[in-house]
Amino acid sequence: MTEKGADDKWEFYEDHKQKHHKWRWRRTAKNGRIVGASTQGYADKFECIENAERNGFVRGDHS
């Protein structure tokens, strides 16, 4: 048995809608639905990845 959400796609991107471009993440299920996303923008990509890890992202498996 695989862990629930193991096949989800994780994306890290810069939000260009804000004055100061902030890093955000989103988690998309195999069926294309967004099942998770950052609630705020991060000035540093590393901080964004750390937040995603607290929400289930495993470094090295995706992105």
List the chain pLDDT tens, one digit each, 63 residues: 446 667 899 999 998 876 778 999 999 999 999 999 999 999 999 999 999 999 999 987 544
Distance between CA 60 and CA 27 in Å, rounded? 15
18: which 2 tokens?
Answer: 């804000």
Structure tokens at 11: 């994306």
- What is the model's pLDDT at position 4? 63
User: Is the pTM of the predicted complex or chain greater than 0.85?
Assistant: no
pLDDT computed for residue 19 by the predictor: 74
Q: Which two tokens stand for residue 37?
A: 């996303």
Rounded CA gap, 25 and 50, in Å?
10
Residue 42: per-residue pLDDT: 96
- Strands of the sheet with 34-37, listed across from one edge: 9-15, 22-28, 34-37
- Please report the pLDDT score of residue 17 as a whole number: 78
